[in-house]
Copies of this chain bind each other. A is one copy, B any other.
Amino acid sequence: MPEAERLAARRRLSVAQGHLQSIVRMLDEPEVYCVDVLRQIKAVQGALDGAGNVVLRGHLQAHVATAGERGDTAEIVEELMQALKYR
């Protein structure tokens, strides 16, 4: 993975992890309200989408765009299609 994307993704996922930790603590409270938790989960999912996009962009640049020169287009494309399947 390109260095800049690696560090950016790491930073984003660390923040998301802290956020997830705070939701777990919310759920220690018997009176916690469902919709508040739903909103927080959505926010973490948005952060994961953001980190995923950073990694995807790095992959497209470093590995997919160079596949033609390397000659492994079919493998690289199939691998990426599988990874994107669950977006």
Contact = CB atoms under 8 A, between A and B. Distances in A.
Copies in the assembly, this chain: 4
Interface centre among A16, A27, A69, A76 (most CB of B within 10 A): A27
Contacts of A66: 68
A35 B81 CA distance: 10
Contact of A1 (B32, B59, B62, B85): B32
Contact of A68 (B5, B10, B65): B65
Interface of A: 1, 3, 5-7, 9-10, 13-14, 16-17, 20-21, 23-24, 27-28, 30, 32-35, 37-39, 41-42, 44-46, 48-49, 51-53, 55-69, 73-74, 76-77, 79-81, 83-87
